[in-house]
Amino acid sequence: MCHVPRSAVTIHDTWFTTGLRGTASNDFSVEGAFVPEGKTTPTVDMVPVHPWKLYRAVPLAFMNHGSHSLGIGRAAIDEAKAVAATKTGWGTDKPLREHPRMQLLIAEAVATVESSRVFLYQSANTLWEAPDEEIGTRTLERGRVRLATNHAATASLRAVDLLYSALGTTSIFTKSPLERQFRDVHTANAHVMIGALSNEAAGRVELGLDPAFPFF
């Protein structure tokens, strides 16, 4: 990691995306800047000796990908409940919440999000409670946090998709929170840290192999 003054960095306005538009995760470049040795940090060497558990067990730092997605999933459930209380179904004068199909989809979405939330925070707490001197060697526990993070993201995407489809045309208008939640959760799931490569690495750990993937 190289530390340079902000004045040496050129930000390139490239963040035009399907979702998560507010993060402004633009590209940047640095040209011709001299970085003295004291302003560099070997990331691999830093992690084992860092005093904070959050950085000595890197999977804990990447939990945000799962918790962020869970937040989108829970918000989508709240929005779907609110819409179902007032929107009437096709060919009836009853609100959607009285329709068995809507009841089934809400139940499935809640179970999907909440069960993945428990897995994420339970596995994270297990790793967090490990003795300081062991946290860097708890490979299985680290892999479980990685796996739970990935699962929370994909489970939240599934829940949002269920609700987005269940509410039909209500979901497609930009005034609907579900429209944004749909875009955001799909964009979030495109991140490499919660993709197939990370899941494969977690599977390798479960099988007693080296993860062969960074930030484990």
In the chain, where the domains are located? 6-41, 49-206
d(Cα 185, Cα 181) in Å, to the nearest integer?
Answer: 6
**pLDDT higher than threshold 60 for residue 112:** yes
What string of DSSP letters covers 95-162? Answer: BGGGSHHHHHHHHHHHHHHHHHHHHHHHHHHHHHTS-TTTTTT-HHHHHHHHHHHHHHHHHHHHHHHH
Lowest mean pLDDT among 13-17, 43-47, 57-61: 43-47
pLDDT > 90: what percent of the chain?
Answer: 74
* Model pTM score: 0.88
Fill in the DSSP letter of residue 95. Answer: B
Q: Is the distance from CB of 88 to CB of 96 less than 8 angstroms?
A: yes
**Long-range Cβ contact pairs of 89-98 (< 8 A, separation 24 or more):** 96/166, 96/167
Which pLDDT belongs to residue 42?
Answer: 75
How far apart are the C-alpha atoms of 174 and 108, rounded to whole Å?
Answer: 25
Q: Regarding the domain delimited by 49-206, which CATH topology (the fold level of the hierarchy) does it fall under? A: Butyryl-CoA Dehydrogenase, subunit A; domain 3 (1.20.140)
Residue range 184-206: mean pLDDT, rounded: 93
Mean pLDDT of 85-109: 92
Q: What rounded mean pLDDT belongs to the chain? A: 91
Spatial separation of the C-alpha atoms in residues 74 and 109, rounded to whole Å: 9
* Higher local confidence (pLDDT), 37 or 137: 37
pLDDT number for residue 43 = 67
